[in-house]
Structure 1
Amino acid sequence: MSPRLLTACAVCALSAALPSRAQESGGAAPDYVDVSIERIQVIGESVDRSQVIGSATRLNEEDLLEFKYQDIHRLLREVPGVNIREEDGFGLRPNIGLRGSGADRSAKITLMEDGVLIAPAPYASPSAYYFPTIARMTAVEVRKGSSSIKFGPRTVGGAVNLVSRSIPDEALAGFVDLRVGEDGLVTGHTAIGGSTGHIGGLVEVFRSTNDGFKQLPSGRDTGFDVEDYLVKFRLETDRNADVYQALHVKLSHTVNDSNETYLGLTDADFDTDPYQRYAASDLDRIDSNHDQYMLTHVLKTGGIEVVTTGYYNDFKRDWFKFHDLSIGGETVNAATVLANPGDFATELGILRGEIDSDPGAVRLRHNAREYYSAGVQSLVAIPFATGEAVHDLEFSVRYHEDEEDRAQFNENFQMLNGTLVLSEVETVGRRGNRVVSAGAWAFMMQDTITLGRWTIVPGVRFETIDLRRVDFAGDDPDRSGGPTGERDNTVNAFIPGLGVNYQVNDNLTLTAGVFKGFNPPGPSSAGADEEESINYEVGAIFDRDGLYGEAVFFYNDYDNILGTCTESTGCRGGEIGDQFNGGEARILGLEFLGGYAFDLGGGWQLPVRVTYTFTDAEFETSFSDGFFGDVEAGDSFPDLPKHQLTASLGVTEDRFRASLQMNYLSAARSRAGSGDIPSGERLDDRVLFDVSANYFLLDTVELFATVRNLFDETYVAGRLPIGARPGLPRTAIGGVRITF
């Protein structure tokens, strides 16, 4: 453990000790009916939505089980203000943005599991090539707006928190979920746990395999194999003790192997068969392993709460995939080939496996990287009153450090009779041999002040971040020759925010806020500034007799928007990891969420839900870089549809439920631009339907069936990084869930 991390542990331990001294001065012991760690959640299960400042959505376990989704993209359709970019059809490596912040690898949002940063290296290299298994979550929380500064460092868009399964309060409880589906899908999922006296525990196991819906000429499968294991343990005092304490231990291990590629298709080949894959991607595969260790201490006394967590995440992955072609000693970018097939007939023939190549012409890269992130964080909550005002003061401190270690190299092949034949294996590190790291202190203070009908939440966050990059020679795999270059950068950010709610009556609440948006730069680029914006929002929340709705207008005014060169965006205008200042930009939009359950009589109901997002984003500065390309002031953002609409209709009674969901996205462009969208950059508008049916054979035995993409709509889900990529075709799944 580093000296700075030891110091952070000491600081958090000191903060945990403070409330015990406060108890000595008196104060009634609180009621500890709910002992979940809601203080570090983005919303919390027991929170009244009308009391939350700004835009906040929580999908609970019932929502997650309605369609039995294992794809976070499909779940987030029901959350306004979320922008996604599909990639593999399964949501294994999601691309999530909030309020137009940029979706690539979810790198511009604060991504957490159980209130802890979960991206492999959230500061040094935030691209989330690891994403928690959504099937083992019991809630998904999305927070946007002024109070999201509580969950930094990335506050431009907001925060997404995934809530894992809690230890049951019963002596013994659990479930078994078995399902099968098309393309060889087989999924088994079980959890068992319980509590007795002062101890509790939980064990959860998830396994899912799929052959994939795309076809390779060789017949090799294009699916995935995911294994996920979770163990939790809790030791606690009596819940009504004057000083309540609990110790939570969480251990998880995830293995994710998938035969996935970045190589898409030409438009003509997509029209012929959207689910084919070229022979050049035959060996593409990502293998990854993730381990998480968490130790959380909870203390409650005299109304004061302290939650202190130490965490360590370790992630290793090697994405061995097609990279480019080497023709006559010249590098040929496959994206250029697919965009201009008439000019590169020979190169396209090699990709398809129809034309033999010279030895070593087809280059596959081991994008091998190891990550770790570790830290300790403590949050203290102190309720008190001043006159007629009731306060809930929270302050927190976190020390975090993370690192990405990359040692990448190529294996070069010859395309021969439609098969890849190995020609050469390069030295490890030849195509990237460096370490990027970060250490960050974060301090937050926020006070929720309730005064009559008013709720006022001023808050401030301070981040001080040390970033470092160390490069090594490409022919020095063991790094014995020492660094060939070093780069250091320090960023200090003061991030204030103010949110206000006004309760007009028991049914209507008005909300507004203003706050600073901040995204730190990475350590890889000299001259890249932090991303900064001033964000505004105003809206209303309505809830009466089961009819609910909320509408929020937002405006994000960027002083500087950052672009990051990554493989997943197809960036070839700079070194992977380079960042570019995009200058001024603005994003405005409207978020709406509403619903009502009509009573049909006889125990039958007809629930209706609608989610709508309007987003309009444009650059206000002209520039040219390796990420956004050639941009003129007034150009629209890429991969950002203006209109998104999700509507669902259900019919339910005690033992039966059926639901139909419609999802609409308007057309978008894959590259920044204005006017008509060129055909090679167009993401067509689309309407997709999913349907599900659930029947409880017994109180504890549920039969279910779902169909994704009911009408088998064929569509270009994305064009990045290389060529047109299809969305998931019609897929039927059925299964049984037994609870006890």
Structure 2
Amino acid sequence: MSKSEVSKSLRRHRLSVAIAMLPVSLLAIGSAPVLAQEQADAPVQLPGINVTADWLGPPTEESERTYTGARTVVEEEQLQATGALNLDDALRPVPGLTVLDETGTGILPNIGVRGLNPLRSERLQILLDGYPIAIGPYSNVGVSLFPVTLPSLEVVDIVRGGASVHYGPNNVGGVVNFVTKPIPAETSQTLRERVTIAEETGNVFTDTYYRVGGRATDKLDLQFQANVQRGDGFRDHSDTEVDNLILDARYYLNDQHELATQLQYYRVEAELPGALTPQAYEQDRSQSQRPHDGYEADMSRATFTWTYTPVDNVEFQWRNFVHDADRTFFFGQNLSGTGHWADPGLDSTHVADSPRLFTVLGTEPRLAIRHGRHDITLGARFVSEDVEFDVNRLEFSSGNRSVARDWHLDTRAMAFYISDTVSFLDDRLTVTPGLRYEDVDMDFRDNLTGNTEENNADELLPGLTVGYQASDDLFVFANSQRSLVPVQIAQTTREGAVANETSWNHELGARLQVTPDLLSSATLFRIDYEDQIQFNRSTSRFENLGETRHQGVELTNRWNLNSQWELGLGYTFLDTEQLTGDNEGNELPNAPTHKVSADAVYSYQAWDASLNWVYVSSSYSDADNTEEETSNGSAGELPDYHLVTTRVGRDFAIGGDRVLNLGLAVNNLLDEDYYFRGVDVSPVGRVPQPGRSFILEAQLDF
């Protein structure tokens, strides 16, 4: 076995131990749940926990094959070696996903699933190492602070169905778990430098990453990661600074007790170029008409997990997390009464800032028991959120500063869940009924007016998954589950009919090993949504679209031609419809009907190369399905587009265990010109997507 193979084997073993500490919450409720411990690839004896059910697969391509729902595992090679501009760009080829790039630097991702609103990724349960990253997991599910950077990741696990019972709320679009690099079995270091140059403007963005980790003592493992990003996106007014620091520790008390903790500090400060009027876009898409828009945020996170395995078939895990977050948007406003307040073609009369202070803590004990043909999971979670939600305005003409909004929100949420996976036919058939109960209490207070309001959600969320290994080559699955999104703090204080959102999600699919070298999968999906809430840019109000339907099919194929060539092909067909209300019969916004992805990977000795292509069809940008673009760009049809990215790299052995990888990539090779409509503090106009960029990479492992 070569040194690189040994290193990879050790990483996988350590990943299996780290993943075993992730919550059963993310574990699927079928035959192969999302996250768990993997058998070591190499005969390396390391202390670890004895996982209750070894049928749980880690986030690898192998366990993906027998998961009882639609699932895509994006491994390190796909994340780091495809020429992706940033993390959300790396996820763009995944079936069913819609990705909108707001900044070009990855600090504010917009990811949607199966026609659900991608803006602020608010219809996904997004996790970092199994813990929620939303600054308000119940009251503010939109990801307006994203403490994740690409170099620190080992795997991204995307589960689009089958995980609702163990994970909630806000899992209508599924669960995405970002798994950071595990602590290595032996002390090692990584130094990585990445430089992105935008062809259109010459702007430069640097990304520096360092990791050191290994065994400190016989019982203690430690790891430190630091990621520093500096520079500009592809547009004017896009200067960005990011610091991401992560410290991991794992302590083995004995064969039965294991403790793990992660401490993280994340900081970002950035100018936001915002949206452009159609006229300005045609003149120069790299310019900015929003000179006052900016963003500052920081988050301190801590997680602690105690795992106790008294016997082989019982595991108790107590998971705890806390984060303190402070994020502020700065944005220009035209309050003269002429046109929309965010029209990029109008001069601002005011500049506003919107600080949000979040203190969140959660605790989640869970118990997993294997008894005969039953795998039973019991769990409970308590989450507390304390939120300060302000808006201040500075008037340019007078210099007066005023408080426009001063809100406070307390949220207390309790959840209980249980599932039982029952195996039949020599474990080839698994049936998993499950039930989750959510009890959410939100107390809102307007400190300016003294008004108070209470919002409650009290829901039973059942689920059922079935998995059947019909033959050695064919695996079939089906699942049905109910999901909840509680009323959000921003919705409760605006005019318009809002409500707790619920949906039923259904999937039927199969994975077939057509030949030893060709794996194909197909998934039929349907989402029946009640009370879907969306923000109307034109009126600055949240609207209840009522009942909506999302349905379609996702197809994937992976073909290993030989030891050098690997090909991939995927297709998503999406059909969305508003079933009630004024827009009955219309499609949902930002829901393209067709998406095609293809890639080719070539490896020869120390060389590797890849070519990726994604096609996305046109879609509407509003619930009214406006086709002709408005004068300020607030609505209108969104264009279809093709994206081609390529990368070539080579490993150099430079003595001892040191390996240097050098890479050159071109993102958006064809310099495709496309855009989406505004978001958040710049909701009106066209938001240009990145043009052609050149990426230089160097990584040293030692």
Aligned to 1:646: 597
**In structure 2, what is the Cα distance between the partners aligned to 1:35 and 1:664?**
44
Q: Quick one: structure 1 residues 571 and 199, their matched pair in 2 at CA, closer, same or farther if it must change by over 3 Å?
A: farther
**What secondary structure sits across from 2:92 in the alignment?**
helix
Distance 1:484 1:331, change over 3 A: farther
Q: Distance in 1 between matches of 2:189 and 2:365?
A: 31
Q: Deviations over 1:449-498 (max 9, x none)?
A: 2212211111111100001111011xxxxxxxxx6111012211100011
Given residue 285 of structure 1, which amino acid in structure 2 is its aligned partner?
A: G
**Percent of residue pairs identical:** 24
C-alpha distance after superposition, 1:73-123 (max 9, x if no partner): 212223212223332223311122222222221122211111111100111
2:418 to 445, 454, 475: 445
Give the alignment partner of residue 570 of structure 1, picking from 514, 528, 537: 537
Spell out the pairing of 1:571-610 with structure 2 (5 A cutoff).
Answer: 572-574=539-541, 579-599=542-562, 605-610=564-569
Aligned pairs (5 A) from 1:210-359? 210-215=231-236, 221-238=237-254, 241=255, 244-262=256-274, 264-278=275-289, 281-302=290-311, 303-322=313-332, 324-327=333-336, 330=337, 332-334=339-341, 337=343, 348=345, 351=347
- Aligned-pair CA distance for 1:153: 0.9
- Contact 1:441–1:463 (8 Å) recurs in 2: yes
Query: What residue number does 1:391 align with?
Result: 374
Separation in 2, partners of 1:57, 1:460:
25
Equivalent runs, 1:283-682 vs 2, <5 Å = 283-302=292-311, 303-322=313-332, 324-327=333-336, 330=337, 332-334=339-341, 337=343, 348=345, 351=347, 362-385=349-372, 390-413=373-396, 423-427=398-402, 430-452=403-425, 453-473=428-448, 484-523=450-489, 524-525=491-492, 528-543=498-513, 544-563=515-534, 565=535, 570=537, 572-574=539-541, 579-599=542-562, 605-623=564-582, 632-674=583-625, 676=627, 678=629, 680=633, 681-682=636-637
Provide the aligned length of Structure 1 versus Structure 2: 633
Ranges in structure 1 where 5+ consecutive residues have no aligned partner? 1-14, 16-29, 216-220, 339-347, 352-360, 415-422, 474-482, 624-631
Partner Cα separation in structure 2 for residue 672 and residue 34 of structure 1: 55
Secondary structure of residue in 2 paired with 1:722: strand
How far apart are the structure 2 equivalents of 1:292 and 1:69? 27
CA contact (8 A) 1:54 1:511 kept: yes
Provide TM-score, normalisation by structure 1.
0.81
1:155 Cα offset (Å): 3.0
- Worse-matched range after superposition: 515-524 or 498-507: 515-524
Corresponding position of 2:174: 158
Q: Matches of residues 106-255 of structure 1 in structure 2 within 5 Å?
A: 106-135=121-150, 136-170=152-186, 172-182=187-197, 183-195=203-215, 196-215=217-236, 221-238=237-254, 241=255, 244-255=256-267
Which of the pair is proportionally richer in helix? Answer: 1
Residue matched to 1:45:
59
Q: Summarize deviations over 1:488-525 as a string: whole Å, max 9, x none.
A: 12211100011111211111111111121322223552
Instruction: Decide whether the 8 Å contact of 1:80 with 1:612 is kept in 2.
Output: yes
Q: For 2:437 and 2:90, locate their aligned partners in 1 and report how far apart those are by CA, in whole Å.
A: 32
- Confirm or deny: 8 A CA contact 2:589 2:625 kept in the other structure: no
Q: Distance in 1 between matches of 2:316 and 2:341?
A: 54
Checking the alignment, whether the CA contact within 8 Å between 1:89 and 1:726 is kept in structure 2 is no
Question: How far 1:70 sits from its partner (Å)?
Answer: 5.8
- The one-letter code sitting in structure 1 at the alignment partner of 2:474 is L
Query: In structure 1, what is the Cα distance between the partners aligned to 2:628 and 2:318?
Result: 50
Q: Cα gap change, 1:248/1:729 in structure 2, threshold over 3 Å: closer, same or farther?
A: same
Letter in structure 2 aligned against 1:154: N
Shift of 1:675: 8.1
Matched, 1:713 2:672: yes
Give 1:534's aligned amino acid: W
Distance apart, 1:282 and its partner CA: 2.0
Equivalent residue of 1:166, what SS?
coil
Matched letter for residue 531 of structure 1: E
SS at match of 1:270: helix
Cα 1:147/1:282, change in 2 over 3 Å: closer
Letter paired with 1:608: L
- How far apart in 1 are the matches of 2:223 and 2:85? 21
Letter in 1 for 2:183: I
Specify the SS of the correspondent of 2:91: helix
| CA distance, structure 1, for counterparts of residue 641 and residue 688 of structure 2 | 12
Distance 1:605 1:366 in 2: 53
SS in 1 for 2:519: strand
Secondary structure at the aligned position of 1:724 is classed as strand
- Offset, 1:677: 5.5
Give the stretch that moved more between structures: 686-695 or 699-708. Answer: 699-708
Structure 2 counterpart of 1:245, which letter? H
Cα gap change, 1:571/1:398 in structure 2, threshold over 3 Å: closer, same or farther?
farther
User: Which SS does the other structure have where 1:203 is aligned?
Assistant: strand
Which one has the largest radius of gyration?
1
Distance in 1 (alpha carbons) for counterparts of 2:629 and 2:194: 42
- The one-letter code of the counterpart of 1:190 is Y
Q: Does the aligned pair in 2 maintain the 1:540–1:551 contact within 8 Å? A: yes
Equivalents in 1 of 2:511, 2:339: separation in Å? 54
* Distance in 1 of aligned mates of 2:628 and 2:594: 16
Moved more, 62-71 or 206-215: 62-71
How far did 1:367 drift? 1.4
Partner Cα separation in structure 1 for residue 411 and residue 614 of structure 2: 40
Query: How much is the aligned-residue C-alpha RMSD, in angstroms?
Result: 2.5
- 8 Å CA contact 1:443–1:461 kept in 2: the answer is yes
Q: CA 1:38/1:670 → structure 2, altered by over 3 Å: closer, same or farther?
A: farther
What letter matches 1:128 in structure 2?
V
1:614-670 per-position Cα deviation (integer Å, ceiling 9, x unaligned) = 1111101124xxxxxxxx210110111111111111211231111010111100111
The equivalent of 1:5 in structure 2 is none
Using structure 2 for the length normalisation, give the TM-score.
Answer: 0.85
Task: Mark the CA change 1:616 to 1:149 in structure 2 (over 3 Å): closer, same or farther.
Answer: same
- 2:690 paired residue number: 728
Which residues of structure 2 form unaligned runs of 5+?
A: 1-23, 25-38, 198-202
User: Could you say what secondary structure the match of 1:51 adopts?
Assistant: coil
* Shift in Å, 1:213: 1.8
Does structure 2 conserve the Cα–Cα contact (< 8 Å) formed by 1:124 and 1:403?
Answer: no
**Structure 1 position 301, deviation (Å):** 2.9
Q: In the alignment, is the contact (CA less than 8 A) between 1:87 and 1:718 conserved in 2?
A: no
Residues in 2 aligned to 1:131 and 1:42: alpha-carbon distance in whole angstroms: 29
